[in-house]
Amino acid sequence: MQERDVPRPAQGQVRVRVRACGVCRTDLHLVDGELKDVCLPIVPGHQVVGIIDELGPKATRFSIGARIGIPWLGWTCGECIQCLRGRENLCERARFTGCHLDGGYAQYCTADERFCLPIPERYSDLEVAPLLCAGLIGFRSLRMAEDAGHIGFYGIGASAHLLIQVARAQGRNVYAFTREGDVEAQRFALELGAVWAGASTEEPPRPLDAAILFAPVGALVPRALKAVAPGGIVICAGIHMSAVPSFPYELLWGERVLRSVANLTRKDGEEFFVWIADHPVRARTQVYPLADAQRALDDLRHGRVQGAAVLTVA
């Protein structure tokens, strides 16, 4: 923990007094040195909920006192070929909150107002914080699964526990895969609406149409490919994953698709928050004071968090 001067918003920025910040596995990868191109020193945290208390020059989108969310995508150039094609999540010069821009493990945080999100009133600070990444990335991943009616989730953490609710509301059947012997996580998934839960080493009771990997374990890729039917889709949803082992081509053959999710766009956020305004999604949270951020990260590292970890900031 450090004491710093309260930041001042630059042109086009707002400053928020942080009220809550979700603890993401990406934060853990960053702290553990597993991410490249990190601007150090950095204040982590990219699931930030706060109240605007100062506007920078030419910042006109929000008013002082507005409650907003600050997500992972913090700035894009708007000029590169990816931005011009509507794929700002792949911008060559993108800057990310809590990685290149100071994030929400703090009492105050500044952000480019163009990349902030208004928060639906029905959600509390603690409920909405995990939605800003775990929910958004999950929503983007689920869209990549197209019309899959039977879908597997590998790793039942912050993102998957939200996405089970979304998938069930869309009429999909969810099959939950957890660490071997993690009966509590399997029970949790069934409570949320999964039709089946088992270890990641097991095969589902029927072939899947798609599978989303939330656990950063490369060895799960061939297992998921084996679990999906021909024409099925396997989606890797994390920003970091251990090495994928070699596997026989027959697991990919049959027009199976293997793809990844990289970051998110502002459009993802806008559409997701419109969707959850009509379809309530409830985050189960473990709450920690800001001073216990290290303990929250350690609990996440060792699988002691059921649902999502959230820091509360006085």
Average pLDDT (269-290) is 93
DSSP 8-class letter at 35: -
Contact 100, 39 (CB under 8 A): yes
What's the confidence (pLDDT) of residue 201? Answer: 95
Contact 82, 88 (CB under 8 A): yes
Q: Which two tokens stand for residue 280?
A: 């309530």
User: Can you tell me the distance from the alpha carbon of 178 to that of 127, in angstroms, rounded to the nearest whole number?
Assistant: 24
Distance (Å) of CA 94 to CA 124, 142, 223: 29, 23, 33
Q: Which two tokens stand for residue 27?
A: 């934060």
- Per-residue pLDDT for 277 more than 90? no
Would you state the torsion angle of the CA atoms of residues 183, 218, 44, 275, taken in this order, to the nearest 10 degrees? -70
What's the confidence (pLDDT) of residue 99? Answer: 97
User: Can you tell me the distance from the alpha carbon of 311 to that of 299, in angstroms, rounded to the nearest whole number?
Assistant: 13
Contact 20, 311 (CB under 8 A): yes
What's the confidence (pLDDT) of residue 149? Answer: 98
Identify the CATH class of 13-131+264-312.
alpha beta
Domain 135-260, architecture per CATH: 3-Layer(aba) Sandwich (3.40)
Q: What is the mean pLDDT of the chain?
A: 96
Domain boundaries, the chain: 13-131+264-312, 135-260
Q: What are the pLDDT digits (tens) for 7-51? A: 999 999 999 999 999 999 999 999 999 998 899 999 999 999 999
What's the confidence (pLDDT) of residue 60? Answer: 97
What's the confidence (pLDDT) of residue 278? Answer: 87
Q: Which two tokens stand for residue 301?
A: 């590292």
Q: What are the pLDDT digits (tens) for 145-177? A: 999 999 999 999 999 999 999 999 999 999 999
Tell me the whole-structure pTM to 2 decimals: 0.92
User: Can you tell me the distance from the alpha carbon of 13 to that of 198, in angstroms, rounded to the nearest whole number?
Assistant: 46
Evaluate whether 13-131+264-312 and 135-260 have a shared fold. no
